[in-house]
Chain A
Amino acid sequence: MGTFAEGIESIRFACSLVLLIPALGIILLGRRRNLLVPVWIVTGSLVAWLRFAGWWDLESSGLWHSLSGVLLVVLAWLAWKRNDAIADSAVTVLGAVIASWTWVPCVGRHLGDILNAARSGPWGQLLPTVAFMVGLFVPLVVLAALDVAAPKLAERAEHPQVRTVGLAIMVLVGALVAVTLFDDLAGELARRSSF
């Protein structure tokens, strides 16, 4: 429970913007949020856990990272243009991979316990990692639940202008990842919210 709560607390920290900005883009861009949110959380948790365990060693810079940014722009445009679950899922998976790959967390007590233990016993830290991520993305879970609980509200959220804002966020994230400036954007937002 403490791990889940620490995930929620982390929403307010600048370090989490790298995860939260693309998540906001997905939630605005995508339809089928009750599908996309679990996909986002599971994918993001897996990549984070692989990194914690030391099994994902790719630096979040260089050619692969830049290419993934370009691909994110293409997939976001496809998801905006087409109305199918595959395009929505593809941009969600790639967005979550990039976000978790780029993320450098500020580490509290519970996440610290996960990180310290993951080096010697990674399998035991998979579920705690998911619990932390569910906490961090609990606003997305709420929005996904809102889709089902209040379908009329969900229809309004799928207004073309709202989806275009989502597309703009994803294109911006993809372009900044491609030119390795995504961290700087998160930094600027953090600075503006800190001073």
Chain B
Amino acid sequence: MGRIIATIILIGGIAAIGWVAFGGSDETAQAVATEAADPNAAADAETAEQPAPTATPEPIEEPENYGPRMDLVDIDGWLQTDATSIDDFNGQVLLVEMWTFGCFNCKARIPHNQSYYEEFGDENFEILGVHAPEFSFEADLANIEEALDRLDVTWPQALDMEKKNFRAWQPGSTNYWPRTYVIDQNGDIRYDHIGEGRYEELRETIRFLIENPPEPRPAT
């Protein structure tokens, strides 16, 4: 009896691996399979799959306010921007993304970020990538620059080589790639999401904040 159950588990396990490996699970698996052949094609496919922004979106509730953002300290360099501090983005709706170029799930977000950039780039909106390498090869500046070019990441990047900010923004032992925040014009965090997904919720949060900027805080 034990051998029969073990054989069923054995066959089931191998079948599950095969099913996922050959793209039978969901769209992520298909993206994985596509990326194995051509990383850029995977990104293109995801972009193509995105729903077009609706002309008259449903109004959403005011996004929750999680309080003031933290600072970015001891940044090891800035790429694709003249900024030298996160304060240089004050007054804008700012999408801050903790990521690293070697992380598959971070790369899966890029086409969505590109679509936000295309949709809101002419408005009071900016994206700031905080590149926090997981592995040493991701901390090599030449590799980072090559990856930004290859992945068509055109928005500003703050280099957080020692992951000081990556850890500080995610206190305790719970730090993850990717993690996405939206900061409003007053510097408050209005969206906080770990991992992939919820792309339309993010789009609507950005739209809401651009169309409904919070009352400026009185100067202290």
Q: Residues on A close to B: CB < 8 A?
A: 1-2, 4-6, 8-9, 12-15, 34, 51-52, 54, 56-60, 101, 104-109, 111-113, 115-116, 135, 138-139, 141-142, 145-149, 183-184, 186-188, 190-191, 194-195
* B65 interface hit (Cβ, 8 Å): no
**Would A112 and B14 count as touching, CB distance under 8 A?**
no
Q: CB within 8 A of A54: which of B3, B9, B172?
A: B172
**Would A106 and B7 count as touching, CB distance under 8 A?**
no
- In the assembled complex, 12 residue pairs joining A and B whose CB atoms fall closer than 8 Å, in A order, are A5-B29, A8-B17, A14-B102, A51-B173, A60-B173, A112-B198, A138-B13, A142-B13, A145-B9, A183-B135, A187-B134, A188-B135
**Would B135 and A115 count as touching, CB distance under 8 A?**
no
16 new A-B contacts at CB < 8 Å, known A115-B176, A138-B13, A195-B137: A4-B16, A8-B17, A9-B25, A51-B173, A56-B173, A104-B177, A107-B194, A112-B198, A139-B17, A142-B10, A148-B5, A149-B3, A187-B134, A190-B135, A190-B137, A194-B137
Q: CB within 8 A of A5: which of B26, B138, B177?
A: B26
* B38 interface hit (Cβ, 8 Å): no
Q: A5-B29, A8-B16, A109-B196 are in contact. Are A146 and B10 (CB under 8 A)?
A: yes
Residues of chain A contacted by B28 (CB below 8 angstroms): 6, 9, 108-109
Q: Residues on B close to A: CB < 8 A?
A: 2-3, 5-7, 9-10, 13-14, 16-17, 19-21, 25-26, 28-29, 32, 102-106, 108, 134-138, 172-178, 193-198
Smallest CB gap from B8: residue in A? A145
Q: A148-B3, A195-B137 are in contact. Are A109 and B175 (CB under 8 A)?
A: no
Residues of chain A contacted by B21 (CB below 8 angstroms): 8
Name A's interface SS. Answer: helix
Residues of chain B contacted by A60 (CB below 8 angstroms): 173
Q: CB within 8 A of A106: which of B2, B3, B103?
A: B103
Smallest CB gap from B26: residue in A? A2
Cα(A135)–Cα(B13), bound, Å: 9
Residues of chain B contacted by A112 (CB below 8 angstroms): 105, 193-198
Q: A106-B103, A107-B196 are in contact. Are A15 and B6 (CB under 8 A)?
A: no
**Would A106 and B177 count as touching, CB distance under 8 A?**
yes
Residues of chain A contacted by B178 (CB below 8 angstroms): 107
What's the nearest-Cβ distance from chain A to residue B52, in Å?
A: 21
Residues of chain B contacted by A184 (CB below 8 angstroms): 135-136
Q: A15-B177, A104-B176, A116-B193 are in contact. Are A9 and B134 (CB under 8 A)?
A: no
